[in-house]
Chains A and B, each alone.
Chain A
Amino acid sequence: MNSTILLQSIGFGITTAAVIAIGAMGFTLQLGVTNLLNLSFGNIMTLGAFASLIVERWHLGLVPTILAAPLVGAVASVLLARTLLAVFARRQNGAFELLMVTLAAGLIIEYTLDALAHLQVFQFQFPSGATVHLGPFVFTVLSLALIGAAALVLAALLAALHLTRLGKALRALSVDPKLARACGVPMRRMINLTWIVSGALAGLAGLVYVTNSLTISAGAGLNFLVLVIAAAILGGAGSPVGAVLAALVIGVATEVVAAFGGSYYSQAAGLAILALVLVLRPSTGMWSGPTRDEVTV
């Protein structure tokens, strides 16, 4: 009977992993290119989710509801980068100072949303569809759609990064910005593109998160950001494949722990994996993190 619960929880874990992976891919892409750990990412996720919630209340149908989140996320993300972060980056602030700026921006977004939402938790109705049996796992149509969306995002990112000139330029930028600029990579455009794509993914991740949790409040993004950052750091900054693999590990771990050890500790399990890697971390290789110090926003 335990193996049934185990398989079932692994199935849930894969769905959770898909939810984490979409956010983690956006986060890691932006971290790799700009070298900035953006702690307001979770709040952009919340913004996206709220945008979809509002559009859903207008009854315009499924497509506008789904599109609202990435759209608002992209706009918020690029606005943040071009206004606030650009101002502070111009003052020769380093990676840590800019991280503190993103934290402040996140705090402002969170509590402004909280004030606008009258501190409420909103219900988000999303039909989860029929159940589907795939081998030993049981999925709902909705969770299959989430997994499909994550796979699609991964495929699109990999194709864009590795098969197009644009992707080559982005990868060059993330390795050595000065050299890339000297080679004629249009920095400004590339970086804005990164903020737009990662913001859209953040918005989408926010929407996907509420389709799974069914409730949304102003503080939701931060809690979810924990798993997103853990996956992005675990997977190695700038690596979409690493982010997805790490999301799988974390997603399955959280759900297995939820099934066996009590749901209170499910998120803590995701963090415990990150803590373990930090403690046992090999000094080189995929967990060494980017070594360059300058931030390009």
Chain B
Amino acid sequence: MSFYLSTIAVYFCVDLLAAWALNMQFGWAGIPNFAFILTQAAGAYMYAVVALGPSGGLTAFQHYILGASLPFPLPLLVAAGAGGVVALALGLITLRPLRRDYQAAVFLLFAVIASDVVSADVGLFNGSNGLAAVPQPFSSLQTTLGLGGYQWLYAGFTAVICLGGLSLVRGLGGSGWQRALRAARDDEAGARALGVNPAVLRLQVFFIGGMLAGLSGGLLVGFISAWSPGAWEYSETFAILTGIILGGVSNNWGVFVGTFLVQIAFQELTALFLPQIGYPGLSDALVWVVIGVLWLLVIYFRPRGILPERRTRMSTLQPSTSPEMSDAD
């Protein structure tokens, strides 16, 4: 039981990091990034290949690019960087003056194609079998702490990073940068007239969100030691988004609640406590059907989520530095 709880704690922290990152892009900036999972996958893969050691050595059963064995915190940084770079590349192609629904479709196309390419090209990340035997950080501690103790240690470490992510998200959330981003979302022409450059802001939020997503991917693969295309199908983005929309777009605690309900309470706990029905894999397929239904119900009944986005009030803003301006208030 303790084993399951620590596992779920790690998953929850990883999912939260990812959800807050996607919420920056989808909630604050209004970008329908249906390819979000690519940035998490990029982080996970890069973490794996710089931690696994050279390809063809001890792990001759799998092929991959690069191949290094960097000491522990470095693979996480590589993962974050990879997520940021992939997000930036995606953003440079798709963040065009395009209708929002077209943009969403293009993101989806990228997610599907990337999965196809990585599955097919065995030389890249070992194809559809994926990478396995990724070393866990400080795995020697497993002998001293025992597996259970090590799991809780990892969960604690993930939680610390998750809290760091939260403070970053909260810090950005109160900034003028975030208000400019939201302004550009709600009224692009108006924001432009006030001297905001929406294109630059959106690329920035893509990069930051991508780094957080890559970090979450690295943390996840460091824990489960394996990563394959089955772990990042396009529908995973959809599950994160369902949590965000259920909890409340652009509301950090809403995202927290929604992610817990969808990713943990629904996906993990049902898999754990409900008896296996039918043939293997049936309940997984049904979970996705229910997520689709849940998504429709949320859009229909509570489009603004359980905890709606808070409106910015003038009184909550920082007092202006120029006295004439504050007098005008």
B196-235 at interface with A (beta carbon < 8 Å): 234-235
Select which of A223, A233, A283 is within 8 A of B102 by beta carbon.
A233
Chain A, residue nearest B242 (CB): A104
Tell me the smallest distance from the CB of B94 to a CB of chain A, in Å: 7
Complex contact B112–A104 (CB within 8 A): no
Size of chain B's interface in residues, with CB distance under 8 A?
Answer: 42
Chain B nearest CB from A35 CB (Å) reads: 9
Chain A residue with the shortest CB-CB distance to B123: A264
B295 near A: Cβ within 8 Å?
yes
B292 touches A100 (CB 8 A): no
CB proximity to B under 8 Å, residues A74-132: 84, 87-88, 91, 93, 95-101, 103-105, 107-108, 110-112, 114-115, 118-119
Residues in A with CB closer than 8 Å to B288 are 107, 110-111
Q: Is the CB of B295 within 8 A of A104?
A: yes
With A96-B100, A101-B296 already in contact, the answer to whether A119 and B281 are too (CB < 8 A) is yes
Q: Which size bracket describes the interface of A in this complex? A: 35 or more
User: Interface segment, B113-121, B154-162, B266-274?
Assistant: B113-121
Any chain B CB within 8 A of the CB of A265?
yes
Please, which residues of chain B bring their CB within 8 A of the CB of A98?
101
Q: Inside 8 A of B108's CB, which chain A residues have their CB? A: 39, 103
Which residue of chain B lies nearest to A263 when distances are taken between CB atoms in the complex?
A: B120
Closest A residue to B96 by beta carbon equals A278
Q: Please give, as numbers and ranges, the residues of chain B lying within 8 Å of A99 by CB-CB distance.
A: 101, 104-105
Bound CA span A110–B292, Å: 10
> Considering the chains assembled together, what is the distance between the CA atoms of A96 and B104 in angstroms?
8
Selected contact of B293 from candidates A108, A226, A229, A263, CB within 8 Å: A108
Per-position binary interface string of chain B over residues 1-37, scored 1 when its CB falls under 8 Å from any chain A CB and 0 otherwise: 0000000000000000000000000000000101000
* A101–B117 touching, CB < 8 Å: no
> At the interface with chain B, which of A9-17, A53-61, A156-164, A268-276?
A268-276
Instruction: Please determine whether B299 and A88 come into contact, CB atoms closer than 8 angstroms.
Output: yes
Q: Which residues of chain A have C-beta atoms less than 8 A from B101's C-beta?
A: 36-37, 95-96, 98-99
Do A283 and B109 touch (CB < 8 A)? no
State the majority secondary structure of interface residues on A.
helix
Beta-carbon contact of B292 and A105 below 8 Å: yes
Q: When the two chains form their complex, are residues B238 and A271 in contact, meaning their CB atoms are under 8 A apart?
A: no
Determine which of A103, A222, A275, A279 lies in contact with B112 in the assembled complex, contact meaning CB atoms within 8 Å.
A222
Residues in chain B near residue A279, CB distance under 8 A: 92-93, 96
Q: With A105-B292, A111-B289, A279-B93 given, is the CB distance from A226 to B113 under 8 Å? A: yes
Instruction: Say yes or no: is B110 at the interface (Cβ < 8 Å to chain A).
Output: yes
Judged by a CB distance under 8 angstroms, whether B97 is at the interface is yes
Contacts of B94 in A (CB 8 A): 278
A101 touching B299 in the complex, CB below 8 Å, given contacts A283-B97, A289-B102: yes
- In the bound complex, how far is the Cα of B97 from the Cα of A118, in angstroms? 43
Give the CA-CA distance A187 to B278 in the complex, in Å.
46
Given A111-B292, A119-B285: A226 in contact with B238 (beta carbons within 8 A) = no
Residues of A close to B291: CB separation below 8 A: 107
Whether A268 and B113, one on each chain, are in contact in the complex, defined by CB atoms closer than 8 angstroms, is yes
Taking a contact as CB atoms under 8 Å apart, the answer to whether A107 and B100 are in contact is no
* Pair count A-B, CB < 8 A: 119
Task: Give the nearest-CB partner of A270 in chain B.
Answer: B113
Asked if A289 and B292 sit within 8 Å, CB to CB, the answer is no
Assembled-state Cα–Cα distance A233/B116 (Å)? 21
Residues of B within 8 A of A115 (CB): 282, 285-286, 289
Q: Are B32 and A96 in contact (CB under 8 A)?
A: yes
B238 to chain A, nearest CB (A): 6
Partner of B117, one of A103, A104, A265, A278: A265
Contacts of A290 in B (CB 8 A): 99
Q: Which one, B97, B110, B117, contacts A264 given CB within 8 A?
A: B117
By the criterion CB–CB under 8 Å, are A223 and B105 in contact?
A: no
Write the A213-236 contact mask toward B (1 if CB under 8 angstroms, else 0). 000000000110010011001000
Q: Are A84 and B93 interface neighbours, CB within 8 A? A: no
Instruction: Write out the residue numbers on chain A whose beta carbons fall within 8 Å of the beta carbon of B97.
Output: 283
- Minimal beta-carbon separation of A278 from chain B (angstroms): 6
In the complex, A274 Cα to B108 Cα: how many Å?
A: 13
In the assembled complex, how far is the CB of residue A250 from the closest CB belonging to chain B, in whole angstroms?
12
Q: Which of A39, A84, A110, A222 contacts B296 (CB 8 A)?
A: A84
Interface members, chain A 246-287 (any B CB < 8 Å): 262-265, 267-268, 271, 274-275, 278-279, 281, 283
B138, CB-defined interface residue at 8 Å: no
A274 to chain B, nearest CB (A): 7
B residues within 8 A CB of A107? Answer: 235, 238, 288-289, 291-292, 295
Of the candidates A103, A110, A118, A289, the one having the most CB atoms from chain B within 10 angstroms of its own CB is: A103
Mask: chain B, 120-140; 1 = CB below 8 Å from A; 0 = not: 110000000000000000000
Q: Which residues of A contact B116 (CB under 8 A)?
A: 223, 264, 267-268
State A222–B285 Cα separation when bound (angstroms): 16
Q: In chain B between 84 and 103, which residues have their CB closer than 8 angstroms to a CB of chain A?
A: 92-94, 96-102
Contacts of A274 in B (CB 8 A): 106, 109
* Interface flag for B61 (CB, 8 Å): no
* Contacts A/B (CB < 8 Å), 15 sampled: A37-B102, A96-B104, A98-B101, A100-B104, A103-B34, A103-B108, A105-B292, A105-B296, A108-B292, A111-B286, A115-B289, A223-B116, A229-B109, A265-B121, A275-B93
Closest 6 CB pairs of A and B: A264-B120, A108-B292, A107-B292, A111-B288, A115-B285, A264-B121
B residues in contact (CB < 8 Å) with A: 32, 34, 92-94, 96-102, 104-106, 108-110, 112-113, 116-117, 120-121, 234-235, 238, 279, 281-282, 285-286, 288-289, 291-293, 295-296, 299-300, 303
